[in-house]
Chains A and B, each alone.
Chain A
Amino acid sequence: MTGTPALSGTRLPGTLLGAARDRPALAVLLVVCLAAAVRYETFATPENVANVLRQNSMAGLLALGMAFAILAGGLDLSLGAMLAVGGVAAAALTPYGAAAAVAGAVGVTAALGVVNGLVVAKARVQPFVATLAMNMATRGVLLAATAEASVRVARDAAAFKWLGRGWVGPAPVPALVMLLTFAAAGLVLTRTRFGRHVYAVGDDAEAARLLGLDADRVTVKVYALSAGLGGLAGALLAARVGVGQPTAGLGWELAAITAFVLGATSPGGRTAGAGSTLAGVLLLAVVFNAFNLEGSIPSYWQWVLRGAFLVAVVAAQNRIGRARS
């Protein structure tokens, strides 16, 4: 749907321009960061950086889940609902300890992800429709089950709340969780058999099947993983705000796609993955942060600029890609 990533070989970047072509999102991110650091003296402060990372850690995890789904040739529109389920489940489980809360959030959502995967792989329903239906149904059950009320995190759940609000030295815990998860996902995608299978299925599921790969199994695992990451993001959000909200994460799946696509398009043919997705997440985050620091841009113009920015970056990258090929 958003383009299967090319599996063509990775070239060594000979020049700085070559590097920029290979990792355009990273290049744009660096330029935006430099410009912001020059223009706003508060931008490059540890407080601001920590803030930006913390505020975007949940959206980042969602984008990572989306990355797995898209890399495997699918799409996961249920991630917003997964975030809400994760948050409510985690909040409800806080009396049993932080580990139970997080495990419950990830477990419940991963199970729903398995359903997504089975519907896509076995019933052969397109991911767009399958996960859209899952999004509606899950949100519906959640709203009905909670009577549309937020679920409070237990008052004495200090360890759980630390996950959302705590610090390790200068780094906010949710940001650390996000960055560590991205690092782990990067290793999984590049260094493991499962990672290779994800790319193979995304590249051409039929060919992968003919080569003896159990593509259905990979698909189910991928949707379980992406939903589970949504659940983890929900748990972190509940820990941060102190409640699990059944209405949380409305429309976040679209932001996740945006982040993935911003990072993924590489005219140099470099394969999209965890790193490119993180670059996309941070690019969106930094642009938004710059709007805030600018102060005078009304929020609705920020939306216009965000949309235009998304289209412009993707269009420009496609242009360069065309010109080169």
Chain B
Amino acid sequence: MSGRLAGAGERYGAVAALGLLVAANAAFTPHFATAANLGNVLIQAAAAVLVGAGVTLVMATGGVDLSVGSVMAVAAAVAAQVAPAGGAGAAAAAGLAAGLGLGLVNGLLATRFVVEPFIAKLGMLIAARGLAQAAGGGAGAVPLDCPAFERVLGSGAVGPVPVPVAFAALAVAAALFVVRATPLGRYLLAVGGNAAAARAAGVPVRPAVLAAFAASGLLAGLAGLVEAARLGAADPANLGGGMEFAAIAGAVIGGTSLRGGKARPVGTAAGVLILAVIGAAFNMLLVPFAWALVFQAGLILAAVALQRPRRD
């Protein structure tokens, strides 16, 4: 009975916590529960949700993707370079291609060159940050000289839903579909549960891991485009900075283990949104953001402590 309760807590805890947090803020934080404010929070969190969906897939295999923030910056910088001459479509395609390409490099480093994922990602985090600046011409923030791009990705809407939010929701749904209903999802979880056993059981370990990294790169690229469109510029040095930790923290809160073998895309989205709502609420209550960091840190610890294995 308590085991089933704990299972439910692990599965839906983050979503429930998010609901509680939003309800509490709606009751106590002035102007929190307005459509405009909630829309803003969602739009600002869209990039982190996108990144989180990809990071969740990588974490399912037992890896960590530390490079997503830098990959976002590369995609944004590439798009900003292409946009003035090539138009919105070409810019988006080029940015996504850059993200996908870097994701594939990450995957190849992890699967073919026997580099531990952590090191591969660290190297990519460092290198891609430089690449982003090189792609941006090395002169600081590049204005996104493309109204169409900003209009669609930045301020566009599908019915009442802002485009970035729609993309984020789609990404979460896609990740959930992959994990729950496809062979790839089963492979990812098998690799994360026990790579040697998975290999022995005939699971195509390398292609599965490569696919997870590629998806993470592609989604990070999309997140970079969304951020650039929202801000109207690609700042290669800062765009996406710290995003890797925000996404991993969101995933951890949502019940995806760093040990691998578990993937909860919806939980990750809830976790990322919890962190975003805390940030927004502290901001609206005029509490210095620094305290939001403290609160968020406590929350991450609490979430992990609640989800830790009974005994390992």
Mark A residues whose CB is within 8 Å of B. 1-3, 119, 123-126, 128-130, 132-137, 139-144, 147-148, 254, 257-258, 261, 298-308, 310-311, 314-315, 318-319, 322
Contacts and interface: CB of A to CB of B under 8 A. Distances in A.
B288 A2 contact: no
Interface in B118-155: 118-120, 122-134, 138
Nearest to B113: A315
A141 B289 CA distance: 10
The interface centre, meaning the residue of B116, B126, B245, B300 with most chain A CB atoms within 10 A of its CB, is B126
A276 to B, nearest CB: 15
Contacts of A133: 297-298, 300-301
Interface in B100-116: 109, 113-116
A254 B133 CA distance: 20
10 contacts: A1-B118, A126-B258, A132-B300, A300-B131, A303-B133, A305-B127, A311-B124, A314-B119, A315-B115, A319-B113
Contacts of B109: 311, 315
Given A3-B116, A143-B290, A303-B129, 4 more contacts: A2-B118, A125-B308, A133-B301, A311-B113
A147 B290 CA distance: 9
A320 B120 CA distance: 17
Contacts of A2: 116, 118-119
A322 B128 CA distance: 28
A307 B134 contact: no
A121 to B, nearest CB: 12
Nearest to B109: A311
Q: Is the interface of A mostly helix, strand, loop or mixed?
A: helix
B131 A304 contact: yes
Contacts of A318: 113-115
B77 to A, nearest CB: 10
Contacts, number: 150
A307 B125 contact: yes
A117 to B, nearest CB: 14
Closest 8 CB pairs of A and B: A307-B127, A303-B130, A140-B293, A300-B133, A307-B126, A137-B297, A311-B123, A143-B290
Interface size class of B (residues with CB under 8 A): 35 or more
B208 interface: no
A130 B130 contact: no
A254 B125 contact: yes
Contact of A322 (B114, B124, B130): B114
B294 interface: yes
Given A133-B297, A311-B120, A125 B114 contact: no
A258 B115 CA distance: 13
A128 B64 contact: yes
A135 B297 CA distance: 8
Nearest to B292: A140
A219 to B, nearest CB: 15
B44 interface: no
A306 B128 CA distance: 10
A130 B301 contact: yes
Interface string B270-312: 0000000000000000001111111011101100110011001
B26 to A, nearest CB: 25
B293 A136 contact: yes
B130 A301 contact: yes
B291 A129 contact: no
Contact of B293 (A139, A308, A322): A139
The interface centre, meaning the residue of B127, B258, B292, B296 with most chain A CB atoms within 10 A of its CB, is B127
Nearest to A126: B258
A115 to B, nearest CB: 10
Nearest to B311: A124
B22 interface: no
The interface centre, meaning the residue of A128, A134, A136, A299 with most chain B CB atoms within 10 A of its CB, is A136
A319 B259 contact: no
Contacts of A142: 290
